[in-house]
């Protein structure tokens, strides 16, 4: 395995903005690797951990989108996660704020390392 982000070609998306929004979401996941923010533990084995991570990644993508001027259509594209987020936040009232803080940390990491990431992102 490689420590890279792989996306379909931009032409596979209905617009460049949707490609960019998906790239932002996946970049937010990429930051969750154990060598960076270490938020991906139990992603594949625990539904609540997956909901927590998807909420964090989506908030990170939304922040990146706001910073770069992307249209706010991201929730439509990730609506499948909303039910899991609702359960998570109902059961853990601090989950949203925790996800937001970790999303901001991911965005801060990406911004701080933006000049050195080119080799890590491939199509």
- Using one digit for the tens of pLDDT, what is the confidence trace for 61-113? 889 989 999 887 655 656 667 778 888 889 998 999 999 999 999 999 988 98
Strand pairing partners for 5?
Answer: 121
| Interhelix angle 82-91/95-112, nearest 10 degrees | 120
Angstrom distance (rounded) from CA 33 to CA 44: 13
pLDDT digit string, tens, across residues 20-29: 988 999 999 9
Handedness of CA 87, 89, 90, 92 (dihedral sign): positive
121, pLDDT greater than 50:
no
Strand pairing partners for 121?
Answer: 5
Around 70, how many Cα atoms within 13 Å sit in the side-chain half-sphere?
24
Can you give the pTM of this predicted structure? 0.81
For residue 72, the model assigns a pLDDT of 77
For residue 37, the model assigns a pLDDT of 85
């Amino acid at each position: 395995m490689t420590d890279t982000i792989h996306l379909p070609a931009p032409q596979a998306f209905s617009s460049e903005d949707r490609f960019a929004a998906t790239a932002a979401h996946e970049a937010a996941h990429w930051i969750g690797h154990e060598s960076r923010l270490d938020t991906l533990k139990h992603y594949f084995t625990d539904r609540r951990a997956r909901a927590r991570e998807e909420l964090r990644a989506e908030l990170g993508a939304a922040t990146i989108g706001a910073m770069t001027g992307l249209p706010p259509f991201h929730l439509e594209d990730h609506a499948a996660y909303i039910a899991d987020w609702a359960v998570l936040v109902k059961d853990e009232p601090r989950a949203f704020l925790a996800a937001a803080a970790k999303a901001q940390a991911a965005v801060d990491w990406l911004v701080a390392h933006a000049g050195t990431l080119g080799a890590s992102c491939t199509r």
